[in-house]
Structure 1
Amino acid sequence: MFKSRGDIVYKCTVRLLEDTEILECEFHPSYKGKFLLEHVCQQLNLTETDYFGLRYVDAGGQRHWLHMAKLILKQVKDASPILFSFRVKFYPPNPLLLKEDVTRFQIYLQLKRDLLHGRLYCTANEAAMLGALIIQIELGDYDPNIHVGNYVTEMRLLLRQTDTIEARIQELHREPVEGTPGGSGGVQGMSTQEAERAFVKIACQLDTYGVDPHPVKDHRGNQLYLGINHSGILTFQGSRKTHHFKWSEVHKINFEGRMFIVHLNYPEKKHTVGFKCPNGPACRHVWCCAIEQMLFFTLPSSSDACVYSGGGLFSWGTKFKYFGRTEREILERDGLLAPRDSQKEGSSTGGKRKASSVPATPSTPMTGDFGYSSLPRSTHSAPLEESGPDDTCNGACLLSGPAVDIALACNDHLRTVQEEAKPPGVVHVAALPAEYSRGSSAEASLTESAGTLLPAEPWPGAGPARFSLLRAFVPSFMVVWLTLALLAILVLETEWAPLQSLRRKPELVALRRQYYAPLKEYVKRKVVELF
């Protein structure tokens, strides 16, 4: 007569990376997030599904990633209609190592979207080359009979698409590719796959590759944006990268209310850096994103992941369990990395690590010296004056994590630092005005803040302090007993109407007659004797 809960079918809409494409899906209340993601990937003929995810927005406007191991309905219970966005969740350090062309195409679509919405910050020359490659992919070689007038204006490629950049994009689209007769660094003559690979290769070298900006404030109240990707945690102020905390430097990460706290372990000393998020849910989202990014790119196996908690007084009950394969497991499955059994393991690796240990990375051996109680895409990529040579991407940074182990085995090596700074087709490009790089797409995507760049400083009072049991116990003891005394007086002495029913309970009547009344008379007598 009545339908059981298992017979109810819910409908949802999934927006793909092309905004004009959507999928209408159905799911039962018992289905988990993994089912929906696998269904979407199946419709797109994607087999390398581990790099993708589904994003949704709750009733409070906070974005979330759909958890693969939890029920769909419980995660989107307040959403109506139910709407998901199919996005790249884990940007591979080097997308050129992906086995399937269809996977690389989805990465290209995501990067094209990031460029359009101002999340992939680049210089004017890089923006012109990336735009020309998009034109080459979607329109093919330049044909004077077809491509007439300012045909680039009809296509939205950049957030701030100026006339100067459009003119340079058309110029690059007409010029033959370098290495061909008459070639001068353009894109004409490239096949679709070659143009895709060139686009992805340039994009993955930018500082903001794989970065999703989270608005935060530092201890001085300066507006910053926090990004988390395969290389670690990055901070940006306006259009400049200010700090880069590599995963190998992270000792512990947790959150307290709205405060996202990073504990760093340097050879010389330890640092504690705090970032204030707009609200509690936003802080928890940053923490969850950081955990997933950290574990995906650093853990050797998903079986090594434990249940992680917020780690703070105001984050009790916040638990997170990593679900899915790690990057190393994907590379081992695809034959790009030798299995761990055939590699030399340190004597201190032992069995399964506890939740407080740091996942092993090529630069962080599993020695047990570091730990974290809880661990944790865009913005901009202007070079920093204070950045050292380690901050320059020379190819190794694109292969961080497990991919470092296969860098020498790759046939498609990235070029040297000088060649990296001059992507194909940009070698002979004249410098464009600074109107794009300074008034760039990042300004519309993220609100810039004025002020000078600040060095990383410990959060005031967050450094290591000597613990005193007496200082911790006595104030707590006094506060507890004072609170209990005030509650007893409120209940037993006042005639407040909401407490009448509680005051008539037999237990409280007996407590008042046998203990409270005699104690009250004793205290009154002693006070009279003293005065």
Structure 2
Amino acid sequence: MMLSRLMSGSNRSLDLPCVCTVRLLDDSEYTCNVQRDAKGQHLFDLLCHHLNLLEKDYFGIRYVDPDKQRHWLEFSKGIAKQMRSRPPFIMCFRVKFYPPDPAALKEEITRYMVFLQVKRDLYHGRLLCKTSDAALLAAYILQAEIGDYDPGKHPEGYSSKFQFLPKHSEKLERRIAEIHRNELSGLTPAASELCFLRKAQTLETYGVDPHPCKDVSGNSAFLAFTPFGFIVLQGNKRVHFIKWGDATKMKFEGKTFHLYVREKEEKRLVLTFLAPTPEACKHLWKCGVENQSFYKLENSNQVRTVSSSNLFFKGSRFRYSGRVAKEVMESSAKIKRDPPEIHRAGMVPSRSCPSISHGLRLSSVPRTRRRAVHISIMEGLESLRDSAHSTPVRFSDHIDILTPRGSREMVFSDEAYTPCCSILPTPVRESNQDLSIGQQVNGTTCATKDEESELAAAPTAPDTETPPPALPGPEGSVQREPEPEQENTFLQSVLRLLAVTLCLLLALLLLLVVLAESDLELAFLRDIRLTPEFQQFHYQYFCPLRRWVSCKLHPIIRLIGS
């Protein structure tokens, strides 16, 4: 009876619904109840039905786990198992795959959703652009959300009431108002949004979702995936751009991420980066696999399960489970319905307007911190700690902006935004101001005052050019101190590593023999035997190897028997 009570209690707990709160692109919230065993696809379908959205493959649901690591919700898995926390679950509805050509989208409501996402990217500093381009983009937003300029409604300085960019200057605000007043009159909201997207898609960082990391030299960088390929940003320069067709493989081991690139004359380049944590590296790898599958493949039948390692039974396995971009466009062309009504949210003044009170952000999207100072790339990485992006470590070394041989270096502008993440207020710099991300002197980076305080607290790295300490010899000569203990320790470490490797290989060989040849019907052995990967290994590799060994040993056995 006690067992039945326990089972009934567990069944009741599984039947209890979970509360999910999803923050939408217009900062409104959608709350619903789902069963504890519901999969991510169920919640996503509820959201798209609520938004009346049919071209939904470009979007996804993002959440942050208890360790502050960001994830995309996998639709084929249960929600509760992925969240690793107790309800209510807090998530965000965001653009996951940016359309290569927003004008080619079938429905206006889809373009409006993408417009809201790119507007957020501009506001949070992820969209790298010149000040002149930023003014035009902001003017399009103003036209889309408040309409034509009206002297009776829009007094002098009206554009300063709104926050379009991470940081404004008076000159920029005057330019935004001038473009809105003189050049955009008569544009409807839909036309303004389309012009905004057409301009945004021409920028190099359109669709960029930056992942902070370090290169093999220890220099800070951002990795990002765009509709056209993989890019590496250092400071305000793009040092690598790899088309999706040239990226042959991605894998990770711990915190190390490897990208294999096909070059001319059948050469292969391997780019290696260090993520802040293993979880951040795995998230980076998954994002890369999904983006490459979505933009590169012709159809979803070409999608294959990929492994993070080449070794058998080792590493993470992942498979992209959605449709690819070409299939999405073909499906969108078949949509036949009356255009749905779009409820556009009017722009709310966010500055110099005490009558407006802002509600608190959800815990998954931390509050933006405002600072009216020039912000270096190192401060940007540090400020990511509280954001919904990958949690970085504290980088306290100097940052050199390096351009590898053969890569394309491109400086976006002398008034460029740093490619930071969602909560970093990157300042807009005037043309007569110093724009450096740490001024460069003779090719090295000089830290700002805030950086110098961080560098002063950091331990000084040993000088590799300094010889080891020397001792005076018996005749006054200089002799280096022998290091026999270090050599013995090194040899012991190598031997220990070889012994462990040999033991692991023997254990793996024994396990394969037991799996393939024994009749043991243990549950975990049976589950392994039934996996497609093991069956493929058994018939393609193990059986031919067994026949080859048998053929080689048969004459020897006959000779011994005779």
- Taking the aligned partners of 2:329 and 2:498, their CA distance within structure 1 comes to 55
Q: Which residues in structure 2 correspond to 1:456-467 (within 5 Å)?
A: none
Q: CA deviation at 1:449?
A: 6.8
Counterpart of 1:272, as a letter, is V
Change (3 A) 1:94 1:386: farther
- Taking the aligned partners of 1:386 and 1:129, their CA distance within structure 2 comes to 33
Which residue is 1:4 aligned to?
12
Q: Which residues in structure 2 correspond to 1:83-482 (within 5 Å)?
A: 83-175=90-182, 186-268=183-265, 269-311=267-309, 316-335=314-333, 436-437=415-416, 444=425, 478-479=499-500
Q: CA deviation at 1:481?
A: 7.2
Paired residues, what number? 370
- Taking the aligned partners of 1:448 and 1:80, their CA distance within structure 2 comes to 42
- TM-score, normalized by length of structure 2? 0.60
- Taking the aligned partners of 1:450 and 1:80, their CA distance within structure 2 comes to 48
- Taking the aligned partners of 1:161 and 1:315, their CA distance within structure 2 comes to 53
User: Is the 2:63–2:71 contact (alpha carbons within 8 Å) kept by the matching residues of 1?
Assistant: yes
Which residue is 2:34 aligned to?
27
1:273-306: CA deviation from partner (whole Å, max 9, x where unpaired):
1011001000000000000000011112212212
* Residue 77 (str. 1) matches residue 56 (str. 2): no
Counterpart of 1:330, as a letter, is V
- Taking the aligned partners of 2:120 and 2:500, their CA distance within structure 1 comes to 55
Q: CA deviation at 1:25?
A: 1.3
- Taking the aligned partners of 2:24 and 2:294, their CA distance within structure 1 comes to 23
Q: Secondary structure at the match of 2:257?
A: strand
Change (3 A) 1:387 1:258: closer
- Taking the aligned partners of 1:481 and 1:385, their CA distance within structure 2 comes to 42
Change (3 A) 1:294 1:188: same
- Taking the aligned partners of 2:503 and 2:38, their CA distance within structure 1 comes to 51
- Taking the aligned partners of 1:440 and 1:262, their CA distance within structure 2 comes to 21
Which runs of 5 or more residues in structure 2 are unaligned?
1-7, 335-388, 391-401, 428-435, 446-493, 505-562
Change (3 A) 1:262 1:314: farther
Counterpart of 1:437, as a letter, is A
Q: Secondary structure at the match of 2:57?
A: helix
- Taking the aligned partners of 2:502 and 2:298, their CA distance within structure 1 comes to 50
Which residue is 1:528 aligned to?
none
What is the percent sequence identity of the aligned residues? 37
Q: CA deviation at 1:70?
A: 0.5
User: Is the 1:237–1:449 contact (alpha carbons within 8 Å) kept by the matching residues of 2?
Assistant: no
- Taking the aligned partners of 1:481 and 1:113, their CA distance within structure 2 comes to 54
User: Is the 1:29–1:72 contact (alpha carbons within 8 Å) kept by the matching residues of 2?
Assistant: yes
* Residue 14 (str. 1) matches residue 14 (str. 2): no
Change (3 A) 1:314 1:77: farther
Counterpart of 1:67 (choices 74, 81, 84) is: 74
User: Is the 1:10–1:29 contact (alpha carbons within 8 Å) kept by the matching residues of 2?
Assistant: yes
Counterpart of 1:197, as a letter, is L
User: Is the 1:13–1:23 contact (alpha carbons within 8 Å) kept by the matching residues of 2?
Assistant: yes
- Taking the aligned partners of 1:387 and 1:169, their CA distance within structure 2 comes to 40
User: Is the 2:233–2:419 contact (alpha carbons within 8 Å) kept by the matching residues of 1?
Assistant: no
* Residue 48 (str. 1) matches residue 55 (str. 2): yes
Q: CA deviation at 1:246?
A: 1.1
Q: Secondary structure at the match of 1:296?
A: helix
- Taking the aligned partners of 1:81 and 1:69, their CA distance within structure 2 comes to 21
Q: Secondary structure at the match of 1:437?
A: coil
- Taking the aligned partners of 1:314 and 1:276, their CA distance within structure 2 comes to 24
1:142-167: CA deviation from partner (whole Å, max 9, x where unpaired):
00011002111111111011111100
Q: CA deviation at 1:52?
A: 0.3
1:384-428: CA deviation from partner (whole Å, max 9, x where unpaired):
999999999xxxxxxxxxxxxxxxxxxxxxxxxxxxx9xxxxxxx
Change (3 A) 1:23 1:263: same
- Taking the aligned partners of 1:193 and 1:388, their CA distance within structure 2 comes to 42
- Taking the aligned partners of 2:261 and 2:500, their CA distance within structure 1 comes to 34
- Taking the aligned partners of 2:139 and 2:260, their CA distance within structure 1 comes to 43
User: Is the 1:301–1:326 contact (alpha carbons within 8 Å) kept by the matching residues of 2?
Assistant: yes
- Taking the aligned partners of 2:60 and 2:275, their CA distance within structure 1 comes to 24
User: Is the 1:160–1:441 contact (alpha carbons within 8 Å) kept by the matching residues of 2?
Assistant: no
Counterpart of 1:11, as a letter, is V
1:351-371: CA deviation from partner (whole Å, max 9, x where unpaired):
xxxxxxxxxxxxxxxxxxxxx
- Taking the aligned partners of 1:219 and 1:277, their CA distance within structure 2 comes to 11
Change (3 A) 1:227 1:38: same
Q: CA deviation at 1:30?
A: 2.2
- Taking the aligned partners of 2:298 and 2:29, their CA distance within structure 1 comes to 35
- Taking the aligned partners of 2:304 and 2:417, their CA distance within structure 1 comes to 44
- Taking the aligned partners of 1:270 and 1:388, their CA distance within structure 2 comes to 13
Which residue is 2:453 aligned to?
none
- Taking the aligned partners of 2:444 and 2:224, their CA distance within structure 1 comes to 17
- Taking the aligned partners of 2:268 and 2:26, their CA distance within structure 1 comes to 45
User: Is the 1:256–1:312 contact (alpha carbons within 8 Å) kept by the matching residues of 2?
Assistant: no
User: Is the 1:132–1:169 contact (alpha carbons within 8 Å) kept by the matching residues of 2?
Assistant: yes
Change (3 A) 1:52 1:211: same
Deviating 4+ runs (over 3 angstroms): 312-315, 384-392, 438-454, 473-483
Counterpart of 2:133, as a letter, is E
User: Is the 1:224–1:449 contact (alpha carbons within 8 Å) kept by the matching residues of 2?
Assistant: no
User: Is the 1:119–1:445 contact (alpha carbons within 8 Å) kept by the matching residues of 2?
Assistant: no
Q: Secondary structure at the match of 2:62?
A: strand
Counterpart of 1:256, as a letter, is E
Change (3 A) 1:33 1:482: closer
